[in-house]
Chains A and B, each alone.
Chain A
Amino acid sequence: MRFADLLQFNGRLLLRQRFRTAMSLLAMAVGVAAVLLLTGLGEGARQFVLNEFSLLGSDVLIMLPGRKETTGGMPPITGEGTRDITLEDVEALGRLNGVRRVAPLIVGNAQTHVGGRSRELLTVGTSEVFFAIRKLKTLQGRPLPVMPLKRAEPVCILGTDARRELFGARPALGEWLRIGDRRFRVIGILDDRGESLGMEMSEAILIPVAAAQQIFDVQGMFRVFLQVRPGSPMEDVRGEILALMQQRHGGERDVTLITQDALLGAFDDILRLLTLGVGAIAAISLLVAGILIMNITLISVSQRTREIGLLKALGASAATVRLLFVCEALQLALLGCLIGIASGYGLLALGHWLWPLLPFVVSLWALGAALLIAIATALLFAWLPASRAARLPPVLALQGMQGGAR
């Protein structure tokens, strides 16, 4: 039997049983679309996180106060409270050979007042270097001025949302505002770049680090960002930094250094696993669709017993009969796959249109896996009923009997 004839013959059959065909197509399509959607979402989330984190640049180290062991084991019992990372520490770090620049960071929530308005805003105390390392730009005005770290200049930069909340439609640049009991002049507005590293910069207010120390009444840094000098090996600089801090803190190694790669690696692993997991769950629906196709094929075989007998009488061999039924299932599966792929892509595109921030990507491996599983289940599950049809003795089949005994 020719392939085109085979397709046409089965096509007629599927058209004839529209409802049944539609139902199995739906099941297949839902399965495939589910796989595409879920893996697409997972993959999108992964890329989103990776993009956010890589903004930091791979030459940046983050220092945290306190020692956080990632190797497991008991936490130190004898440790008296860890020492603060002071501004002197930051300055000393900046003088290291392998360090290009250092940005201190103090973060807290503080009440900010303008005229009658009052808002609690994320207040970030830092220096001009932070702008460079985090690639922050100003929409209006200028970033924090270059000045000694210890000078608490009364200036601030507003995120766009913070600006709107405090000033509404009024111009903010050059105006004065009050954080806690200190007055600051607005010298710049941040370019809106959304959230990064878990900090909503558009709702933040940036002030000199010394001013933040006074507002929050703290000495120690929340974080220190260190950018490694180009050409210096990361590992060497790491050792240098840790040695310096140990020396400055009386022999106690009480800071933690994180590289972006370590962070990213962990996130990447988790999200990849998550994507695989939801993909696998969706693949189960494909399996269900496969079982449905098996049932459909079984019904088809028992309803068409006489037809099978006739085809055999007309010269169809057992192989041809099996091919007919397997092909019927395959045609259903493939058509269902196509519909599923189309709707999966459609929904992902719609999602991307609704939330442009989240990149929706259909990974080719998910597409391939969905197709493969769909076709494999259809083949696998149709094989049994099709073989049953192929084995039917023609004489009995012509009489509409399926009995295996002759």
Chain B
Amino acid sequence: MIRLEAVCRTYRLGDQPVKALDRVDLDIDAGAYVSVMGPSGSGKSTLLNVIGLLDTPDSGRYQLEGREMTCLDEEARAAERNRRIGFVFQAYHLIDRLSARENIELPLVLAGMAPSERRPLVDDIVDRLGLTERAGHLPRQLSGGQRQRVAIARAVIRKPALLLADEPTGNLDSHSGAEVIELLEELNDQGITLLVVTHDPNIGRRAGRRLRMEDGRITADRSGTETGDALR
């Protein structure tokens, strides 16, 4: 489903070029549950952004669901993001003047869907994520856990094939964090491909496939059940 070949991405930090991705090769199957861990600045967020079409690689190839992504222009990338990819951010990124429901509806609005078509979709997802009572509230009236649920609802409303979560529990207490992770895993069970970037080893180890990044390279790629190594 995702195929990266020799993908490079270099940032300029002042005069210093920083290699965020250094010839990264990666294959991810549809429906996989992948965690990406590593120290700060190792390039995990950049990897997520490149896969999420928010960032473009300097060189290398990127295929999503068998389609070449590297040659798309910004308009086409925006359309792909809308249709195939859902994002969950550490800082939720909800629009504070819109109610929970309107935030969830936003991707459909941007896609130009008619209100009558939008309503049942939003009703359904609000119901599924247990947000019915909170749907009319503004983000500031919600708890952190509820906000992240709203953000997840927004990420999956378009039924994307790929869900990208960048530190989804970073701003949450352990209890809410666990709930959010369970929700993401539940969605993964229903078939969505899930990619989680995290600092938290307890979360990272739950994934079926665990990547470790350092200096822009993937240094470890483990699948299957947990072994003693990953705990260290």
Answer yes or no: B82 CB below 8 A from chain A CBs.
Answer: yes
Contact B110 A314 (CB under 8 A): yes
Interface size class of B (residues with CB under 8 A): 20 to 34
**B79, B93, B97: the one within 8 Å of A317 (CB):** B79
Contact B55 A395 (CB under 8 A): yes
**Interface size of A in residues (CB-CB distance below 8 Å):** 28
Answer yes or no: A2 CB below 8 A from chain B CBs.
Answer: yes
1/0 per residue, CB under 8 A from A, across B88-102: the answer is 010001010110000
Contact residues of B between 22 and 75, Cβ < 8 Å to A:
49, 52, 54-55, 74-75
- Nearest chain B CB to A299's CB is how many angstroms away? 16
Contact A317 B74 (CB under 8 A): yes
Contact residues of A between 385 and 406, Cβ < 8 Å to B:
393-395, 398, 405-406
1/0 per residue, CB under 8 A from B, across A22-56: the answer is 00000000000000000000000000000000000
Contact residues of B between 66 and 125, Cβ < 8 Å to A:
74-75, 78-79, 81-83, 87, 89, 93, 95, 97-98, 106-107, 109-112, 114-115
- Nearest chain A CB to B16's CB is how many angstroms away? 13
**B97, B98, B109: the one within 8 Å of A1 (CB):** B109
Contact B106 A2 (CB under 8 A): no
Answer yes or no: B12 CB below 8 A from chain A CBs.
Answer: yes
Contact A315 B111 (CB under 8 A): yes
**Chain B contacts for A316, CB-based, 8 A:** 78, 82, 110
Contact B78 A318 (CB under 8 A): yes
Contact A405 B54 (CB under 8 A): no
**Interface residues of A, dominant DSSP:** helix
Contact A320 B98 (CB under 8 A): no
**A306, A318, A406: the one within 8 Å of B75 (CB):** A318
Contact A12 B79 (CB under 8 A): no
Answer yes or no: A310 CB below 8 A from chain B CBs.
Answer: yes
**B82, B97, B114: the one within 8 Å of A12 (CB):** B97
- Nearest chain A CB to B18's CB is how many angstroms away? 12
Task: Determine the distance from Cα of A233 to Cα of B74 in the docked complex, in whole angstroms.
Answer: 76
- Nearest chain B CB to A110's CB is how many angstroms away? 78
**Chain A contacts for B74, CB-based, 8 A:** 317-318
**B11, B82, B114, B115: the one within 8 Å of A314 (CB):** B82
Contact A315 B107 (CB under 8 A): yes
- Nearest chain B CB to A167's CB is how many angstroms away? 74
**Chain A contacts for B54, CB-based, 8 A:** 312-313, 394-395, 398
Contact A2 B93 (CB under 8 A): no
Contact B97 A398 (CB under 8 A): no
**Chain A contacts for B75, CB-based, 8 A:** 317-319
**Chain B contacts for A1, CB-based, 8 A:** 109-110, 112
- Evaluate whether A12 and B93 lie within 8 angstroms (CB atoms) in the complex, with A314-B110, A405-B12 already known: no
Task: Determine the distance from Cα of A394 to Cα of B81 in the docked complex, in whole angstroms.
Answer: 12
Closest to B45 in A: A395
- Nearest chain B CB to A170's CB is how many angstroms away? 76
Contact A307 B110 (CB under 8 A): no
Answer yes or no: A151 CB below 8 A from chain B CBs.
Answer: no
Closest to A317 in B: B78
Closest to A310 in B: B93
Contact A312 B78 (CB under 8 A): yes
Answer yes or no: B149 CB below 8 A from chain A CBs.
Answer: no
- Nearest chain B CB to A319's CB is how many angstroms away? 7
Answer yes or no: B154 CB below 8 A from chain A CBs.
Answer: yes
Task: Determine the distance from Cα of A313 to Cα of B154 in the docked complex, in whole angstroms.
Answer: 11
Closest to B98 in A: A12
Task: Determine the distance from Cα of A16 to Cα of B98 in the docked complex, in whole angstroms.
Answer: 10
Task: Determine the distance from Cα of A104 to Cα of B158 in the docked complex, in whole angstroms.
Answer: 92
Contact B110 A311 (CB under 8 A): yes
- Nearest chain B CB to A8's CB is how many angstroms away? 9
- Evaluate whether A315 and B82 lie within 8 angstroms (CB atoms) in the complex, with A1-B109, A9-B109 already known: yes
1/0 per residue, CB under 8 A from B, across A248-279: the answer is 00000000000000000000000000000000
Closest to B102 in A: A12
Contact A2 B114 (CB under 8 A): yes
Closest to A12 in B: B97
Contact A315 B81 (CB under 8 A): yes
- Evaluate whether A313 and B52 lie within 8 angstroms (CB atoms) in the complex, with A1-B112, A319-B75, A398-B93 already known: yes
A interface residues, Cβ below 8 angstroms from B: 1-2, 4-5, 9, 12-13, 16, 306-307, 309-320, 393-395, 398, 405-406
The 8 closest A-B pairs by CB, nearest first: A315-B82, A317-B78, A310-B93, A394-B54, A16-B97, A317-B75, A315-B81, A314-B107
13 A-B pairs within 8 Å (CB atoms) are namely A4-B115, A312-B54, A312-B78, A313-B87, A314-B87, A315-B79, A315-B110, A316-B78, A316-B82, A317-B78, A320-B78, A398-B89, A398-B93
